[in-house]
Amino acid sequence: DSGVTQTPKHLITATGQRVTLRCSPRSGDLSVYWYQQSLDQGLQFLIQYYNGEERAKGNILERFSAQQFPDLHSELNLSSLELGDSALYFCASRDRDFYGYTFGSGTRLTVV
């Protein structure tokens, strides 16, 4: 157990639907990073939050959004889902005193 918790582990949904993925960072970590892993694109950075505020954006589609709540958990919202959104979605957190990033075990999203 890395200490970063992601739920659900698996999600199957239909095209056009909306889903919410949840991430709880390690205790005390203020930063949350979301990544998408697909076979063709590899690991792509989506968005970063630090202590409730958006800090950086990567290759995140406009149909996707995220937020970080006061208790530091984060949610990634994916809407108007397309088949190509099927992927593994990871979140990671980082200790301010440590240079490594700790990843959760991911949410596997399948859009049918």
Partner 1 sequence: GEDVEQSLFLSVREGDSSVINCTYTDSSSTYLYWYKQEPGAGLQLLTYIFSNMDMKQDQRLTVLLNKKDKHLSLRIADTQTGDSAIYFCAESMGSGYALNFGKGTSLLVTP
Per CB under 8 A, residues contacting partner 1 are 2, 4, 31, 33, 35, 42-43, 45, 48, 50, 55-56, 58, 90, 92, 94, 96, 99-106
Q: For residue 50, what are the CA distances in angstroms to 13, 14, 30?
A: 30, 32, 6
| Tokens 């390690």, residue located | 26
Q: What's the rounded Cα separation, in Å, for the pair 72 and 30?
A: 7
Closest distance of CB 62 from partner 1, Å: 19
Nearer to partner 1 among residue 38 and residue 65 (C-beta): 38
Nearer to partner 1 among residue 19 and residue 92 (C-beta): 92
Closest distance of CB 96 from partner 1, Å: 8
Question: In sequence order, what are the beta bridge partners of 11?
Answer: 109
